[in-house]
């Protein structure tokens, strides 16, 4: 499984229940007094730190005291500092507006969005433009919401078709039969492979260059034979894709840009 960010092996995902939250002001070396959002959930079993968009979250089970949480945060100061420092070099994420002239990526290339009210409801690519027809000649209520939903649905279908073709090609080449393929909206990983060879991929990969998508496909197919990241696993992956480290590095350095919201 490929994650989008650094993970501690003791960190698990959120539980299904909505967590409670509060702001802690924690004194951290190198950072001084730092606002940290504390999220508690009854389903959590471990304590995790999440850094995104220059903000720090501590995700904790109910049983831990604030003193224990603060102590843990202070021990992880260097990691928090490095994450915040790297994110400060990244331009802030701009929310999509789904208006004409906005730039979107398809397979690593930039395309200009052209939103049109008239014509059959549809999305298609013409040259380096994405033409989005909202499907009405009359005034459309909340056109940006409709455009956003329509464009995302198109992206999901495009991602599904493209990734399916790449999985089938590499599956045959590697002689690694799979059981199923699903496209999901993962928040913290690019792909996964179950012990039964069920493959799942993040639809936002479709924003990245084709060779990066291929790397994630080969990465997950390699897990059918090796259910870990052992030296044997990486040797097997490297045999199929000798330059995989280049694509792995690209995803690590640019994965944060493959965002929708």
Q: Which architecture characterizes domain 103-257 according to CATH?
A: 2-Layer Sandwich (3.30)
Which residue carries 């464009």 as its tokens? Answer: 151
Residue 13 CB coordination number (10 Å): 13
First to last CA, the chain: 23
Residue 88 Cα to chain centre, angstroms: 19
Q: Cβ(178)–Cβ(167) under 8 Å?
A: yes
Q: Cβ(12)–Cβ(45) under 8 Å?
A: yes
**What are the residue ranges spanned by the domains of the chain?**
2-87, 103-257
Residue 200 parent element (H or E): strand 198-202
Which residue carries 């459309």 as its tokens? Answer: 140
**In this predicted structure, what is the pLDDT of residue 8?**
36
Question: In a structure prediction context, what are the per-residue pLDDT tens digits for the chain, which is 261 residues long?
Answer: 554 433 333 333 334 455 588 898 888 887 888 899 999 988 888 898 988 877 899 999 988 899 999 999 999 988 888 888 777 766 667 788 999 999 999 999 999 999 987 667 889 999 999 999 987 655 566 788 889 999 999 999 999 999 999 999 999 999 999 999 999 998 778 999 999 999 999 999 999 999 999 999 999 999 999 999 999 999 999 999 999 999 999 998 888 889 898
**In this predicted structure, what is the pLDDT of residue 256?**
82
**In this predicted structure, what is the pLDDT of residue 152?**
95
Beta strand ranges found along 76-231 (DSSP E): 103-106, 109-116, 122-126, 129-133, 180-184, 189-193, 198-202
Q: Tell me 60's DSSP state.
A: E
Which residue carries 């990245």 as its tokens? Answer: 208
Report the relative pairing of strands 189-193 and 55-61 from DSSP bridges. Answer: unpaired
Q: What is the number of residues in the chain?
A: 261
- Sheet strands side by side (includes 180-184): 2-3, 189-193, 198-202, 180-184
153 by DSSP, 3-state: which?
helix
């Amino acid at each position: 499984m490929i994650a989008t960010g650094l993970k501690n092996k003791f960190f698990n995902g959120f539980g299904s229940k909505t967590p409670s939250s509060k702001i802690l002001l924690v004194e951290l070396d190198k950072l001084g007094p730092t606002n940290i959002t504390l999220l508690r959930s009854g389903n959590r079993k471990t304590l995790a730190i999440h850094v995104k968009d220059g903000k720090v979250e501590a995700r904790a089970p109910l049983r831990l005291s604030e003193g224990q949480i603060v102590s843990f945060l202070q021990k992880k100061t260097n990691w928090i500092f490095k994450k915040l420092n790297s994110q400060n070099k990244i331009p802030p994420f701009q929310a999509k507006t789904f208006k004409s002239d906005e730039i979107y990526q398809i397979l690593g290339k930039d395309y200009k969005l052209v939103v049109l009210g008239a014509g059959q409801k549809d999305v298609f690519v013409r040259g380096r433009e994405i033409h989005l027809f909202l499907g009405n000649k009359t005034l459309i209520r909340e056109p940006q919401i409709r455009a956003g939903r329509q464009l995302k649905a198109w992206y999901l279908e495009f991602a599904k078709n493209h990734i399916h073709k790449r999985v089938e090609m590499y599956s045959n080449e590697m002689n690694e039969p799979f059981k199923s393929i699903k496209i999901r909206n993962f928040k913290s990983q690019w792909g996964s492979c179950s012990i039964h060879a069920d493959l799942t991929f993040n639809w936002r990969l479709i924003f990245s260059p084709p060779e990066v998508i291929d790397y994630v496909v080969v990465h997950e197919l390699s897990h059918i034979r090796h259910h870990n990241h052992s030296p044997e696993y990486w040797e097997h992956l490297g045999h199929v894709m000798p330059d995989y480290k280049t694509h792995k590095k690209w995803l690590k350095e640019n994965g944060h840009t493959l965002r929708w919201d």
